[in-house]
Structure 1
Amino acid sequence: MIAPLQKNLFTLILTLLSLSAFAQTGTIKGVVRTSDGQPAPFVNVALKEINKGTTTSEDGSFTFKNVKAGSYTLITTFVGFQPQEKQVTVTSGEVTNSDFTLSESSEQLEEIVVSDTRTLNEKTVDIGKSGIKPMDLPQSTIVIDKTILDNQQVGRISDVLANASGIYLMGTTGGVQEEIAGRGFSYGSSNTFKNGVRYNNAVMPEVTGLERVEILKGSAAILYGNVTAGGVLNLVTKKPKFQNGGELSFRTGSYDFYKPSFDVYGALNNSNKVAYRLNSSYENSRSFRDNVKAERIYFNPSFLIKAGKKTEILVEGDYLNDKRTLDYGTGSVNYVVADIPRSRFLGASWSYYNTIQKSATITVTHALNDSWALNGIVSYQGYNNDLFGTTRPNASSQLVATDGTWVRGLQRSGTDQDYYIGQVNLTGKFSTGSVKHQVLIGADQDKYDNTAQAYTYANPIASNKNVYDTINIYDLSKYQQRTDIPALTLSSTTKNPLNRTGVYVQDLVSILENLKFLAGVRYSYMESETANVKSYDDAFSPRLGVVYQPTKDMSVFASYANSFTLNTGLDINNNRLAPSFIDQYEVGVKNELFKGLVSANVTAYKIVNSNLAQSVLVQDIPADAVNKTNPQELAGEVTSKGIELDIMSRPINGISFIAGYSYNDTRYTKSSQYIDNSRLRYNPQHTANASIFYTFTNPLLKNFNVGFTSFYVGNRVAGRSTRTTVTNDTYKLMTLPDYFLFDFSAGYNWNNVSLRAKVSNLFNQLSYNVHDDNSVNPIAPRMFSATVSYKW
């Protein structure tokens, strides 16, 4: 045991020695930026004389500590940019600053367009708000960037999501939208975002304006309130640049598909304060479905204003006008997909689904200092939809008979929606002793003004019933089809306003460099109205997680989060149901393998909704119940569990690949209405994805690349879930066949011109996306497309 005096003396000597050693060394700091002033992450920086290197962080900064006093050569290298060298002198006990601005040639810029050196675990998601690095986040994330979007020549969001495990289409109702789901739960409009703002996904989003797509799996309730379980999706559009440039392209393909588009950007009047970007596209096409066609116009302007050294203002607009034929597919007979040609259209020739969607968003970012930043967003979105056509096969008791006879009715509906949101976030980093904190404090308020119009059709020739005409789905020539467009009567206009307010706080606490805890909570308050019944709900959404990093290339995590969803049903006393609360558990391992060349992440999860809203059985409705028309109760339970694997590589000698697999099992684990342990509809138990692209380096084939993309979706069930206690129940489930999609792509770049070609669904697989049993939409057959573009 060291005596107190000796111990103090010993400590003093160690301190002096440490200070002496520090006094003989200094620090080098700097920031690397691109020529348009943006931070350049993941740039290699090295000290030539001592062979010591590092890479820049997300904000472009780098640091060398404990460098002996003297003169050194700093070298920066990055694919697509010219190497640079600078001489620096390190002075004992001082910090030497040395910044770089990368410069590029036109030839090298072509390289950077087709390469992304960041790995899966280096791509921070904006949708996470706090800027936590993926290796520090106890949650699974995926970023699908522009390199992948361009290489795969994506045309729809479903093409993009084929690169992420466990994310899939659960339906394409009416052939007019892509209903996305993950981990057994729908990614509805509450779970779909564009640039961090909720986005109505009842229309197919335009992909030509996308810079990347972000997926935050699991619970996001602490950040966004009442989002359903499974995850959230964020579409990030292209941003302004101070460097002048642009692209003009034209895509054509099977079934008279034509799509010109342009994208221009640069500094406004050569200013270093204001930059702009304008991208737009026009699409016109037929379909493999007879009489089905589509036309859409997209316009996406944006401006970036540098209001000061620490303040940026981003103004973004978005406009989409989408017109297409309403198409409920090939129909089904007694819960079996009808055996008719894939191309046969069963609706009225004039049926339509027209949508206009527009938005304006202002984002202000202000750096308070090097550690703290303030971010504010205000946004408006307008959504208007007009649906008019024949009813769905088998809907409203108008069933398709065994011989194929179907009495068609008419339907028309309108939707007008105005959505407003304002949010503010304060992010910061600080230390309490040796403990580091990365904090997020925020508040948001949003408002929906929803108006729905419903119409009725009464045919006087058919006793004022909703009867338009009769067809036979197996033989369309058997009956004469009507082609006139009757007038329908507006029967009701319903308003459903919704107001939400939330406040939240979150802290990533680094106890040690390799041991971190994430804790946070959100309080949400909501006011809503359904059928003239007002409701007031509130909820707390906690989040807890732990991350342990045994090495810098491995991260092991576990987390718990609680989320909630609003219920619109009324109980037996005509009171609005309380929200359903959902517990989510997640564990996983994130790995950087082969010196960071390959990311490989594995995640397991369990999600339990233990108070699921369901209908009260008729025999259980009390005689004195106020509401005897379909009252509901919180008495069911749904459990989702599964495992996901995601693999993504950096470009390795011209080769890059992505692979993934997911297993999901989502069932009714307790229900008075459905058979216990029965599967929820639309969710495949197995999905898998793989893609590989190769850019030739041989002089004879330079600038030529080829790629293969595949996606597997296991069998699913649709139809109508069987009830357990209803006499003579005729509901049945439909089993949908699994399918395997295989695409081939090839491209060639010559100076500023590029040519790409693609064959999708190479083996002409056939399967269906089905909603209930009344929108049976076949997947697209083998199709060809080609794109030529010019960049400057």
Structure 2
Amino acid sequence: MHHWYRFLQVTGAFALVLVTQEVSALGVAEPPPEDVVETPAAIIAQAVTVITDVAIAQTGNQVELRLSATTPLDNATVTQGAQGTEIIIPNATVIQPEVLQEFAPESGLEQIEIRNQTDNNVQILIRSGDRQIQTQLTSTATGLTLNIEPAIVAAETDGGAIEAFELVVTDTEQPYNPASATTATGLDTALRDIPQSIQVIPQAVLRDRNVTELGEALETNGSIVSRGGRGTSVFGPGFLIRGFPSGSSIFRDGIGAVSLSALDTSDIERVEILKGPASVLFGQGAPGGVINLVSKEPLAEPFIGIEASVGSFANYRGNVDLSDALTEDGSARYRLNFSYGNFGSFRDLVDGERVVLSPRLSFDLSEKTSLDLYGQYAYTRETIDEGIPFTAAGPVDVPRRRFVGEDFGEFSEQRFDVGYDLGHKVNDHLSLRHRLQFLQYRPRRYAPLYTGFDETTGDVGRLAYFAGGHYQRFFTNIEAIATFETGSVKHQVLGGIEYRNTLEQPEFQFSNDYTPINVFNPVYTGIPYAIAPEFFRDDTIKTVGVYIQDQIEFSPQFKALAGLRYDFVEQLRSTQDLGGPRNEFFQSDGALSPRLGVVYQPIEPLSLYASYSQSFEPSFGASRNGDGSTFEPERGRQWEVGVKADFSDRLSFTAAAFDIRKQNISVQDPNNPLLSIQTGEQTSRGLEFNLNGELATGWNVTAAYTLMDAFVSEDTDPAVEGQRLPNVPQNQFSLWTTYDIPQGSLEGLGFGLGFFYVGDRPGTLDNAFMVPSYFRTDAAIYYRRDNWRAQLNFENLFNTEYFTAADEFQFATPGAPFAVTAKFALDF
């Protein structure tokens, strides 16, 4: 292992030397070598003109559109099409965000739309209904002037008012229909070229739903449900992806986002979910998939965003988002996100707060080298709440606000990370990337936890629990990206080596009982107990992964993705009781994880795909069989087929069928109850459907439906084999849709409506009780104007009583009743 570590130290030192050279070169501009010939793509990229402003004016029956740019806008072409008059400005881009302004020209024009195209062109689309128009283009020293004159002037209305039209400046990527993602391949890849199901929750959906935590964001994505464990689990608030625990499969910008607290979304641009095994790029993990949070990047233009919200149950929150260039040429930029939330609850005695600070700096050290420096500090404190008891007949008959913990029971965590991303373009066909991150967090769980429920008396047994300690992780990798051709076949190859070193030093207290409490007549003691840890661990886990991936294009219609990874994991763990001897355990595992997928596109907007992928997850290194032997890693494998269709550049649809098997699960040896054998298997198979985008002008939608059968397929216990997996519904549906009034006196007013259905699901592996299904309705109303936005969000509009997840102690977490949140946002 130490050889790999030294290798990565050398690569890190090399990267730092490279940065030093680039920084020292900033003050001295060397002429390019004479034998360097720029490619046409590079020349075009350098020639892109930035349109900095769009203005419109009316003179008589003419409309004048003025585009201000950094250089003259030449070579524009005009064509007549079915949608109207189209003007294409080559080698240009509009930097204005989506702008909507109302005008009343005598021309009678209906709409002018200006947007960026993917090939570095700007499109101006003039819609005039059945009226004919004339256009005249004049290139100026500072841009372009477009004069529009109707051949037939629209008649006035009876009241003499002129029909209004609007100028809309938009980007080709629709807010509800992202076209690409980085999580599936490690590179920005079109979704339709990925032979695996991947979904993106964009910023627009997070904003419109007023999402503040990852769990809320995932509600619009199919095949993901809550697993519970908030404040108590060693993995933090958990999720099930295609029936399997997310565990360590939550990432931030491609690096594991280890935290026992709920993850805040104030500094997140979007969330990407890759379904199915993903060990080729992400290493060890569960077979259900990975969740990757993508951070907000620094901007070259000044930006100040301020948000304030207040809601039911004494919830209030404030966010500040700052970004700007640090140099005149924009080669150095920063972004700073700060968030504070103080949240109450519909549950008695439950409250909490959270602080998040996320600074980020970006430097273009040269035309070929970039460096990002980032960090994050997060503090969370909240009451530990394990929910309401369940029986075979359902939840006990108590109000959903009923709390059977103690007010002093609390989860808290301080977490921070720092790191950098370094990129260098060697030439047009080869690039290098290097990342490094240090993470540290200190969780503290102190509360009387539930041990059981007496259905006869209503008493809840409790123990005096404490868990604390220190955790840290060092991560680094180096990657190379190469593009080349073998004959007519195009390749984009990603190869890399990764090293992780994790230190865990937890301490626990769990032997003493605490006063029981009656769920029907709770009497809170309010008496904290002494903290006296009695069990300690001291663990070091080292991981090295080597991987290679090839995105292959045999033709525009036929593409493939192939990848292979080898991971080597060493675990040195120790356990020690208070006053007892230290017990040490060593375990090493190696695993090879392949991935193969093909995509066939008979026409450009339609993709048919099939894929096979594997995952692995080492067993806990301190666990031993009855004979002292170690356990092999659990393995996962998936077959998936699907179709991806772009109905237009604004609306897309995905359908997928999958079969996942999780194998090497430890089960009791039927011939020796003291031993375990790894013959257990769990299966999840199903169908997924997703629809995302714009149905009509101003009408956006994201919808998902999942039909899934997740069950124990092999076990030595006949009572368990065939049982459904806990917390996994067979049917799940979500729909969130918004409509923005595009013009007229109510322009800027918008409405949102959401439906969320989760079918019934078992509460435990032995299916001792069922958590009932629920159908929840959310809504929103908002008003956008210029640089401000006012918004009202309504959760659980019809006050449905429901439960989100259950645990192994026959307790389940109730969902929130009807609640309202008001938010005001201002951007500069």
TM-score by length of 2: 0.79
What are the residue-to-residue correspondences of 1:295-334 with 2, within 5 Å? 295-333=353-391
Q: In the alignment, residue 178 of structure 1 is paired with which amino acid?
A: P
Aligned position for 1:470: 516
Distance of 1:27 and 1:239 partners within structure 2: 24
Conserved? CA contact 2:449–2:462, under 8 Å: yes
Deviates more, 1:509-518 or 1:532-541: 509-518
What are the residue-to-residue correspondences of 1:44-193 with 2, within 5 Å? 47-48=77-78, 75-77=122-124, 116-117=173-174, 120=177, 122-126=179-183, 128-174=185-231, 177-188=236-247, 190-193=248-251
Conserved? CA contact 1:391–1:410, under 8 Å: yes
Please tell me whether residue 249 in structure 1 is matched to residue 307 in structure 2.
yes
Conserved? CA contact 2:541–2:570, under 8 Å: yes
Conserved? CA contact 1:125–1:141, under 8 Å: no
Distance of 1:604 and 1:78 partners within structure 2: 40
Which of 732, 747, 765 is the matching residue for 2:782?
Answer: 747
Conserved? CA contact 1:168–1:182, under 8 Å: yes
> In structure 2, do the counterparts of structure 1 residues 613 and 717 end up closer, same or farther at CA, with 3 Å as the change threshold?
same
Aligned position for 1:605: 658
Q: In the alignment, residue 744 of structure 2 is paired with which amino acid?
A: P
Which of 231, 251, 273 is the matching residue for 1:215?
Answer: 273
Distance of 1:163 and 1:49 partners within structure 2: 41
What are the residue-to-residue correspondences of 1:149-548 with 2, within 5 Å? 149-174=206-231, 177-188=236-247, 190-268=248-326, 270=328, 272-333=330-391, 336-394=394-452, 399-456=453-510, 466-476=512-522, 481-531=524-574, 532-548=584-600
Conserved? CA contact 1:192–1:201, under 8 Å: no
Please tell me whether residue 703 in structure 1 is matched to residue 748 in structure 2.
yes
**Over residues 382-424 of structure 1, what are the superposed CA-to-partner deviations in whole Å (9 max), with x where a residue is unaligned?**
1211111112141xxxx43422123432111114210111112
Distance of 1:549 and 1:35 partners within structure 2: 35
Conserved? CA contact 1:333–1:402, under 8 Å: no
Distance of 2:48 and 2:270 partners within structure 1: 23
Aligned position for 2:680: 636
Conserved? CA contact 1:46–1:75, under 8 Å: no
Q: In the alignment, residue 702 of structure 1 is paired with which amino acid?
A: E
- The gaps in structure 2 that reach 5 residues or longer are 1-40, 53-74, 81-85, 95-115, 127-134, 145-165, 575-583
Conserved? CA contact 1:165–1:662, under 8 Å: yes
SS at match of 2:560: strand
- State the superposition RMSD in angstroms: 3.2
Conserved? CA contact 2:178–2:202, under 8 Å: no
TM-score by length of 1: 0.82
Aligned position for 1:624: none
Aligned position for 1:691: 736
Distance of 2:138 and 2:664 partners within structure 1: 64
What are the residue-to-residue correspondences of 1:508-657 with 2, within 5 Å? 508-531=551-574, 532-568=584-620, 569-593=623-647, 595-617=648-670, 620-621=672-673, 628=674, 631-650=675-694, 652-657=696-701
Q: In the alignment, residue 812 of structure 2 is paired with which amino acid?
A: V
Distance of 1:86 and 1:129 partners within structure 2: 44
Deviates more, 1:45-54 or 1:766-775: 45-54
Conserved? CA contact 2:795–2:818, under 8 Å: yes
SS at match of 1:48: strand
Offset at 1:214?
Answer: 0.8
Offset at 1:58?
Answer: 13
Conserved? CA contact 1:116–1:650, under 8 Å: no
> In structure 2, do the counterparts of structure 1 residues 356 and 691 end up closer, same or farther at CA, with 3 Å as the change threshold?
same
Q: Report the identity percentage.
A: 26
Q: In the alignment, residue 363 of structure 1 is paired with which amino acid?
A: D
SS at match of 1:650: strand
Which of 734, 738, 759 is the matching residue for 1:714?
Answer: 759
> In structure 2, do the counterparts of structure 1 residues 642 and 510 end up closer, same or farther at CA, with 3 Å as the change threshold?
same
> In structure 2, do the counterparts of structure 1 residues 77 and 206 end up closer, same or farther at CA, with 3 Å as the change threshold?
farther
Q: In the alignment, residue 587 of structure 2 is paired with which amino acid?
A: S
SS at match of 1:128: coil
SS at match of 2:534: strand
Conserved? CA contact 1:127–1:196, under 8 Å: no
> In structure 2, do the counterparts of structure 1 residues 664 and 109 end up closer, same or farther at CA, with 3 Å as the change threshold?
farther
> In structure 2, do the counterparts of structure 1 residues 34 and 451 end up closer, same or farther at CA, with 3 Å as the change threshold?
farther
> In structure 2, do the counterparts of structure 1 residues 86 and 291 end up closer, same or farther at CA, with 3 Å as the change threshold?
farther
Aligned position for 1:4: none
Deviates more, 1:191-200 or 1:732-741: 732-741
**Over residues 684-709 of structure 1, what are the superposed CA-to-partner deviations in whole Å (9 max), with x where a residue is unaligned?**
11111111111112321011111111
Offset at 1:428?
Answer: 2.3
- The gaps in structure 1 that reach 5 residues or longer are 1-25, 37-44, 65-73, 89-98, 102-107, 458-465, 622-627, 723-731
Aligned position for 2:163: none
Offset at 1:604?
Answer: 0.5
> In structure 2, do the counterparts of structure 1 residues 508 and 467 end up closer, same or farther at CA, with 3 Å as the change threshold?
closer
SS at match of 1:489: coil
Conserved? CA contact 1:549–1:555, under 8 Å: yes
Conserved? CA contact 2:51–2:93, under 8 Å: no
Aligned position for 2:823: 787
> In structure 2, do the counterparts of structure 1 residues 86 and 497 end up closer, same or farther at CA, with 3 Å as the change threshold?
farther
Aligned position for 2:807: 771
Distance of 1:492 and 1:85 partners within structure 2: 79
Conserved? CA contact 2:794–2:821, under 8 Å: yes
**Over residues 567-606 of structure 1, what are the superposed CA-to-partner deviations in whole Å (9 max), with x where a residue is unaligned?**
123223212211122221010001011x333201101010
> In structure 2, do the counterparts of structure 1 residues 266 and 400 end up closer, same or farther at CA, with 3 Å as the change threshold?
same
Distance of 1:263 and 1:174 partners within structure 2: 28
Conserved? CA contact 2:49–2:93, under 8 Å: no
Distance of 2:527 and 2:392 partners within structure 1: 30
> In structure 2, do the counterparts of structure 1 residues 226 and 427 end up closer, same or farther at CA, with 3 Å as the change threshold?
same
**Over residues 25-56 of structure 1, what are the superposed CA-to-partner deviations in whole Å (9 max), with x where a residue is unaligned?**
x99945657679xxxxxxxx974369797999
> In structure 2, do the counterparts of structure 1 residues 675 and 57 end up closer, same or farther at CA, with 3 Å as the change threshold?
farther
Distance of 2:293 and 2:124 partners within structure 1: 31
Offset at 1:670?
Answer: 1.0
Offset at 1:467?
Answer: 3.0
Offset at 1:251?
Answer: 0.6
**Over residues 442-470 of structure 1, what are the superposed CA-to-partner deviations in whole Å (9 max), with x where a residue is unaligned?**
1111111011101245xxxxxxxx23223
Conserved? CA contact 1:121–1:135, under 8 Å: no
SS at match of 1:322: strand
Offset at 1:141?
Answer: 0.9
Q: In the alignment, residue 777 of structure 1 is paired with which amino acid?
A: T
